[in-house]
Amino acid sequence: MRHEVTPADTALAVGSGDVEVLATPRLLTWLEHATAQLALRVLEPGQTSVGTAVRIRHRLPTRVGDTVDIAVDAPSMDGRHLLFGVRATNSAGQLIADGELERVVVDRSRFLANVP
């Protein structure tokens, strides 16, 4: 997945800082979206996956106008738990972030029934 960094994606815009570079919360959103899409491949009808753990390191700032490529490894599976290795690189091919995201496969109806 490729994203172009816009002013709306900056730390200043999302409130996570006061600089106009890619915000970590926006980067996390892009990474989580990519893992959710890949998780669809292992879901059965009536199932969904939910994010449960995040461990990422945001290594380099990215300017507005630059592009970010998101890469996700096929998940390792342990029962209902899916663990994804994730990476993000800028247009120069530099690693700007890496880490792991965990998702858990749940029954959609049961999950929603337990939401307060």
Residues annotated as catalytic (active site), given as ranges: 24, 32, 58
Exposure b/e, 51-74, CB count within 10 A at least 16 = b: eeeeebebeeebeeebebebebee
41 is in an annotated binding site: no
For residue 112, give both structure tokens: 């929603």
103 is in an annotated binding site: yes
What is the H or E stretch that residue 98 is in?
strand 95-107
Annotated binding residues for substrate, written as ranges, equal 51, 103
Annotated binding residues for CoA, written as ranges, equal 51
